[in-house]
Chains A and B, each alone.
Chain A
Amino acid sequence: MKDRYGLIFLVVLALTGIGAPLLNQAVPEGSALYLSPYAMTLIGKYMCYAMLALAVDLVWGFCGILSLGHAAFFALGGYAMGMYLMRQIGGRGVYGNALLPDFMVFLNWEQLPWFWYGFNRFWFAAAMVVVVPALLAAVFGWLAFRSRVTGVYLSIITQALSYALMLAFFRNDMGFGGNNGFTDFKDLLGFDLQATRTRAVLLALTALALALSYIACRALVASRAGRVVRAIRDGESRTRFLGYRVETYKLWLFIISSVIAGIAGSLYVPQVGIINPSEFAPINSIEVVIWVAVGGRGTLYGAAAGAILVNYAKTILTGALPEVWLYALGALFVLVTLFLPTGVIGLLPDRSEAS
């Protein structure tokens, strides 16, 4: 089982996860090697996106399930973490209400909605980061795969699902802060989120989470289950005749993928400091797909690399030439699908992940 590029990916990841926080914490601020908190946030963000890309690649690249709703799992994980962070604010909000977050006070709510109970405890929020996306994926996937909704139909209804969630979260009555979402977080497990030290640790943790996700996905696709999954991608009914319950395979894969996306979202929120319903927007999900396509679908490190590459380009372009970014992204969609079906990873020599 050779995975040379995967190994390179993990080494680079380890270096970043350890190196970036060190360059921020241990190097004095004036030095050429000093890494600014802004750059750290960017790197952390990219790594969260890379996890999301892994999640999408797992279902799309390996099983042919083109989900246009993965941003929803990411956002749900983010909201679960956001709810914890909101409750940590406690009496330090603008209205000084120890129990209710500011937006609820603003809406004249008298008491905490039932689904906010428990989110004052980290372990509970952390559990919800996993459970909520997994539950949604399980229910949706069970219904969809059981009735053999495949191909573009599945893509369209995943998109509709994400869209419906976005509309729902935009509503103030839902109790998730309406279109403002959550922001102005103070601290996480007692650590000040504004402190660079906290941010450095968060970055290292994100790198760790990305590495673990990669290893888990890699273990999965290299197992016999992974081969079954690829068999489903290439010949669903044939796989069924071999005695595999295709629905269960897809369902598990979808759930695992949604959990990775949810965890990525939960790491994203404390680093960028905000979560709002626009995270559910269909374009977000589709953008993830293009990261994967650019990197190379069906190769895990390719998906992660694609996410980082495209987002780096986005940061540069939206900073320098904001007009050009959508043209560039649009062109990327067209050109990659037309001319680079294996992504940039396809340009590398001697790949052997497939076996």
Chain B
Amino acid sequence: MSPSFLNWAGAARTWPSGGLARVGAWLSATLCVVLVGATPAIAQTPDDTFLATVGELREASFSDKEAIATRIAASGHTSAAAVLTAMLEDRLYFRDSDQHVFIITSADADPFALVEPVSLADAGTAAQDGLTKIGTNNRLRRVVRTTVARFTLASPDPAVRLKAVQEMMRSLDEQTLDLVRERAAIETDAAVKNEIVLGLAMAALTSGDQPAKLAAIERLSTQVTSDVRNRLATFLEQNPDGSFVEPDAAVRSAARSAVSDIDRIRAIYSGVETLFFGLSLGSVLVLIAIGLAITFGVMGVINMAHGELMMLGAYTVYVVQLLMPNAIGLSVIVAIPLAFIVAGLAGVLLERTVIRFLYGRPLETLLATYGVSLVLQQTVRSIFSANNRAVETPAWLSGTWQVNQAFAITNNRLYIVLFTMMVFVALQAVLKRTRLGLDIRAVAQNRSMASAMGIRTEWVDAMTFGLGSGIAGMAGVALSQLTNVGPNLGQSYIIDSFMVVVFGGVGNLWGTLIGGMSMGVVNKLLEPYAGAVLAKIAVLVALILFIQRKPRGLFPQGGRSAEGH
């Protein structure tokens, strides 16, 4: 058990998780290096003195404890922060039998897990009733908190300082204010400084005179957090008798315009967020449809097994993770090319054994490939069971990118957008810049002419279908991170994929991209009003109506020749 975990495990409850380890590690180091030098030399070893000081806490009164806590902080011992934090969080105990003081890791566990307060080493466990808590009261806790905050505010890591300021702003009092003001004078990091300025402005709202309040409101009007907005909104509240809580009309009007400013900014960010959600949903739609845009759009093959090819891709991730259980982070990356190969080969096999006999008979192809999709579903049921398989999400895919207080982007959404773009660009490159791409386009435009020019059209058919299927497999990798991996995975996406391709205009990859993205955005725009299911239904119905107005999609292939069946 690392000391840093020990020190701050409790703090995790109140502090957002990021940066904690750094806070702890840094604290231990600072207290040692910075404060030791400032302490006069003592005859005993520092550890003995420290332990003795901590021991005094057992029987001291609350006011004495204040003094003791100050001495502990001043001792500069590496464990000082850990002990004070434990005390703050009621995790400092002493053993009744020998009066030895311990830190416990959690007050909820029984028996307690003990930690030696000097070395911070694991000291085994002990039953709860053999231990007595070293009590605190509010006043004491405030003093200790300020002491701890002073340490953290001096951290060289701006992220730690930022967290410290944010934490202190939640419970401002004169002492913390002074601390923060001191820090403001010497702070160099812009973000931390900004946070301090905001905190001081928030404080000024309560305690300042009129010009200070106005200045604070002015400063806060560019903020986006709901805390600030709600605080400002309290100026506009009325007492039950109709008079305003805030007597000063100038302050009220400043607050009113500040609240509306903040609301506007927040509305913009929430719009941006919806747009991003929509683009990320759209990316999923594009990803599941882009393979189909090849097989359906370029070759005219109705492949109802497209969803099952995605399912194969998703199961590839599962198998890869079984094979490399210790490298989950890598597994998804490894699975992408593998899924392409697995689904691509399945596609080539499907084309060679079934589809090639049915060219020019789209309805028959639809039925035959539907049969294949049933066989594939049952195959994975037989091999992997009918239940969903657990596919793990690598750490780098989880987590959130907090742009500001009003706008956060989850990593998986971000990566899916990037992945879709990469697949799209790669596909365009294959079609536009490679020999295979040239052959594919040639065969799509004029099969007999291409054949006459020596292109092996049968081979191109198989490769084209393999390409489209392989992309379906890669889409499956993405889906494995978003949804349950089970035999029905394909079925739940097949209709969406077809709708995207038809909506975008068959035979047009850009149409698929724009079609999928706009479907995603519209869906997310509707969701707040209609709910997820109803939004989806609305989008489906809108598409059905759209296709009836423009049967050839958003971006039809032009010219006379496109008229044919």
Contacts and interface: CB of A to CB of B under 8 A. Distances in A.
Whether chain A touches chain B in the assembled complex (some CB pair under 8 Å): yes
Interface of A: 64, 66, 140, 143-144, 146-153, 155-157, 159-161, 163-164, 167-168, 170-171, 282-283, 286, 289-290, 293, 323, 326-327, 329-334, 336-338, 341
Contacts of B540: 160-161, 163-164, 167
Nearest to B361: A337
21 contacts: A143-B548, A147-B548, A149-B548, A152-B366, A153-B547, A155-B363, A155-B366, A160-B544, A161-B540, A171-B533, A290-B367, A290-B371, A323-B381, A327-B378, A330-B371, A330-B375, A333-B371, A334-B372, A334-B375, A337-B365, A338-B357
Contact of B551 (A149, A159, A160, A168): A149
Interface string B520-557: 00000000000001101100110111011101000000
B547 to A, nearest CB: 6
Given A147-B549, A152-B362, A333 B370 contact: yes
B375 A326 contact: yes
B491 A283 contact: yes
A233 B536 CA distance: 34
Contacts of A283: 491
Contact of B367 (A150, A161, A170, A289): A289
B551 A330 contact: no
Interface stretch (B55-63, B64-72, B495-503): B495-503
The 10 closest A-B pairs by CB, nearest first: A333-B371, A330-B374, A330-B375, A326-B378, A164-B540, A330-B371, A334-B371, A143-B548, A337-B368, A337-B364
Interface string B464-499: 000000000000000000000000000100010011
Contacts of A293: 367
B12 interface: no
Interface string B175-214: 0000000000000000000000000000000000000000
Range class of the B interface residue count: 35 or more
A240 B159 CA distance: 74
Residue picked from B364, B371, B377, B533, most chain A C-beta under 10 Å: B371
Nearest to A142: B548
A323 B367 contact: no
Nearest to B495: A163
Residue picked from B374, B378, B565, most chain A C-beta under 10 Å: B374
Contact of B375 (A66, A143, A150, A331): A331
Contact of B536 (A167, A282, A289): A167
Given A156-B498, A160-B499, A167-B533, A151 B362 contact: yes
Contacts of A171: 533-534
Contact of B547 (A64, A149, A163, A341): A149
Contact of B377 (A146, A161, A326, A341): A326
Interface string B363-400: 11111101111110110011000000000000000000
Contacts of A336: 367
A140 B545 CA distance: 9
Interface in B6-49: none
B363 to A, nearest CB: 5
Nearest to A159: B495
Contact of A323 (B304, B378, B491, B533): B378
Contacts of A64: 363
Contact of A338 (B354, B502, B534, B548): B354
A64 B381 CA distance: 35
Nearest to B371: A333
B544 A157 contact: yes
Contacts of A333: 367-368, 370-372, 374
Contacts of A163: 495, 540
A239 to B, nearest CB: 15
B302 interface: yes
Interface in B216-275: none
Given A153-B551, A160-B544, A338-B354, A330 B363 contact: no
A170 B491 contact: no
Nearest to B501: A156
Contacts of A151: 362-363, 565
Nearest to A158: B544
Given A159-B495, A160-B544, 7 more contacts: A143-B548, A147-B551, A149-B547, A152-B302, A156-B498, A159-B498, A164-B544
Contact of B373 (A140, A168, A330): A330
Contact of A164 (B372, B377, B382, B537): B537
B123 interface: no
A127 to B, nearest CB: 26
Given A164-B537, A167-B537, A152 B367 contact: no
A334 to B, nearest CB: 4
A335 B375 CA distance: 13
Nearest to B376: A330
Contacts of B373: 330
A159 B494 CA distance: 10
B78 to A, nearest CB: 60
A59 to B, nearest CB: 12
Contacts of B302: 152, 155
A282 B549 CA distance: 24
B349 interface: no
